[in-house]
Amino acid sequence: MLTIGSFLTASAGAASLWLSMAGQVATPTLAEQAQAAFDPIAQDYPALNATVMVAGEIAWEAEGGWQRDAADGVDRDYNVYSVAKMLTALAYARLEQAGELDLDTPVRHIDPGLPSQYEAVTLRDLLAHRAGVRHYTSREDWISFSDRRCETPADALDHFIDAPLSSPADGEIAYSTYGYVLLSHLLVRLTDTDSFDAAMQAVLGDSYLARRDSDDADKATNWVDLGEGPQAIEGLSAECKFGAGGLLASSRDLAAMGQFLAAGEIVDLDTWTDLPGPWAGYAESVDLHYAAHSGGSPGGRSFLIVYVEPQISVALTGNADSENLQALSIELADLFAGFDDEAAED
């Protein structure tokens, strides 16, 4: 199986395999291999769903888990947590490509009410996790923020906005959920809308298929291990994270958003290597553009990966924080892209 690291050095000969598979739906052999990869991971989740799309069509789906509700399927909304950051970054990239925004704009030009320490911080800094905005400082900090209730991103700012900024070392990032909460606030101001969902819809249009979490959201039940084994938790909400981790989506909707991206309907694929943030990359040796982001927090896990040239997107959604889903996502993407063990070894 290839990993993000290994396919960057895979042989160029694998590219023809992707192209030959791009228009095909899953054969029984592919489906059996995909199911065999999915089942061992799914057994660690109360509910776990997978959707693979190829060239705009659903190629394979699976639903698993040891405590599924009848509604916990591939069209059920789950907390996708930090996958939301990728969607938020796409909105900013689209605004820039449309000529409506310069990502090097200082954030206080958009909201002059921000503290003076943000004077030199730009949108690009925030998108790349290089602004020095703090992340969670402790479990208690995470709980305190999760217990908040917010109608707009502006309601969440006072939790972190006055904290001192740090300076990441050159070439490094300082990952920050709060930095993307600030980006969510700025996006609402830039679009002159009254909610984060409205801001995302204004920028991404029909390709925005997620929605904001809330304490009464219709979604898969969150399961959390409080030290005595997993328990179903009612009313758990990530709503104050907005585009940093507060969105809901089904595996079908996430995969469909990946297809919009792969088809060039969200951003211009010719500018891929200039996209902001660490979620998009290019493997020159095989001429492959890809995007990937993980999401995970008490109550859920998700992953979205997109292979652009073969137009493959894989989305996984689960309702507990268990094993990271990156390896499974890449294995499924490689499988439907036509990678085999020999290609992986090359």
Residue 25's pLDDT is what? 54
**Average pLDDT, integer, range 210-229:** 92
Residue 28's pLDDT is what? 62
**Average pLDDT, integer, range 129-157:** 95
Q: How many CA atoms does the CB half-sphere of 19 hold within 13 Å?
A: 8
Residue 340's pLDDT is what? 63
Alpha helices in the chain (DSSP H): 4-7, 14-21, 28-42, 83-97, 107-110, 123-127, 139-146, 177-191, 196-204, 251-262, 326-337, 341-345
What pLDDT digit, counting tens, does each position of 81-127 carry? 999 999 999 999 999 999 999 999 999 999 999 999 999 999 999 99
What pLDDT digit, counting tens, does each position of 280-319 carry? 998 787 788 999 999 999 999 999 999 999 999 999 999 9
Residue 24's pLDDT is what? 53
Q: How many CA atoms does the CB half-sphere of 333 hold within 13 Å?
A: 31
User: Residue 15: pLDDT above 50?
Assistant: no
User: Residue 11: pLDDT above 60?
Assistant: no
Percent of the chain whose predicted confidence (pLDDT) is above 70: 90
- Number of domains present in the structure of the chain: 1
Check which CATH number belongs to the domain holding 56 and give it: 3.40.710.10
Q: What is the DSSP string of 252-314?
A: HHHHHHHHHHHTTSSS-GGGGGG-SSTTEEEEGGGTEEEEEEEEEETTEEEEEEEETTTTEEE
User: Residue 238: pLDDT above 50?
Assistant: yes
Rounded to 10°, the helix 83-97/251-262 angle is 30
**Average pLDDT, integer, range 7-29:** 43
What pLDDT digit, counting tens, does each position of 191-200 carry? 999 999 999 9
- Average confidence score pLDDT of the chain: 89
Residue 3's pLDDT is what? 41
Say if residues 299 and 321 touch (Cβ distance below 8 Å): yes
Residue 169's pLDDT is what? 72
* Residue 7 pLDDT grade (very low, low, confident, very high; cuts 50, 70, 90): very low
What pLDDT digit, counting tens, does each position of 320-332 carry? 998 889 999 999 9
**Average pLDDT, integer, range 43-64:** 97
Containing structural domain, residue 91: 4-345
What pLDDT digit, counting tens, does each position of 247-257 carry? 999 999 999 99
**Average pLDDT, integer, range 26-40:** 86
Q: What is the pTM of this model?
A: 0.89
Residue 13's pLDDT is what? 36
Residue 263's pLDDT is what? 96
Cα separation, 145 vs 240, whole angstroms? 7
Residue 126's pLDDT is what? 97
User: Residue 344: pLDDT above 50?
Assistant: no
Say if residues 315 and 301 touch (Cβ distance below 8 Å): no
Say if residues 14 and 346 touch (Cβ distance below 8 Å): yes
**Average pLDDT, integer, range 337-341:** 73
